[in-house]
Amino acid sequence: MSQSILFKKTDAPADAVMLFIAGTAMSVAGILLFPISVGSLAYYEKGLYGLLMFIWGLQMVMLGRTPFGDVNRTNFLIGAGTIFASAGIVTCIIPDVFGKFPSAALSVCFAFGGFAQLMQLFFPKNKFHVWMGYGGVFARLTYGCIAVYSLSMFIGALVWRQSLIPLPAVAASVTCYGMSVIFLSVILKKIYRLYPAESAQSHIMGGFVGVKPLLLITGVFTVLLGVLLIPVNLGLLPFSRSAQLGLLTMIMAVRMLAFGDTPLGSFGRSVSTALTGTLLAILGTVSCMIPEIMISSLTFTIAVLNISEGIINLLKNGAAFLKNIVRRHNFRYAVLIKLYLPQFIMAVLSIIFGLSMFFPSLIPAYLAGAVLAANGIVVLYFLYTLHTVEKQ
Please write the tens of the pLDDT for every residue from 313-343.
899 888 877 777 766 655 566 777 777 888 8
If asked whether residues 209 and 273 sit together in one domain, one would say yes
Choosing from 293, 324, 346, the residue where a domain stops is 293
Could you tell me the pTM of the whole model? 0.88
If asked whether residues 319 and 288 sit together in one domain, one would say no
CA distance 248 to 178: 21
Q: What are phi and psi of 135, to 5 degrees?
A: 70, -170
Q: Does 139 have pLDDT greater than 50?
A: yes
- Give the pLDDT confidence of 229-252 residue by residue, as tens digits: 888 888 888 999 999 999 999 998
If asked whether residues 96 and 43 sit together in one domain, one would say yes
The mean pLDDT value of the chain amounts to 85
Q: Does 253 have pLDDT greater than 70?
A: yes
Provide the residue range defining the domain that includes 150: 2-293
If asked whether residues 52 and 110 sit together in one domain, one would say yes
If asked whether residues 289 and 306 sit together in one domain, one would say no
List, in order, residues 6 or more apart from 104 with CB less than 8 Å away: 160
Choosing from 268, 293, 318, the residue where a domain stops is 293
Residue 313 and residue 346 in contact, taking contact as beta carbons nearer than 8 Å = yes
If asked whether residues 342 and 247 sit together in one domain, one would say no
If asked whether residues 156 and 301 sit together in one domain, one would say no
Q: What are phi and psi of 69, to 5 degrees?
A: 130, 175
Domain count for the chain: 2
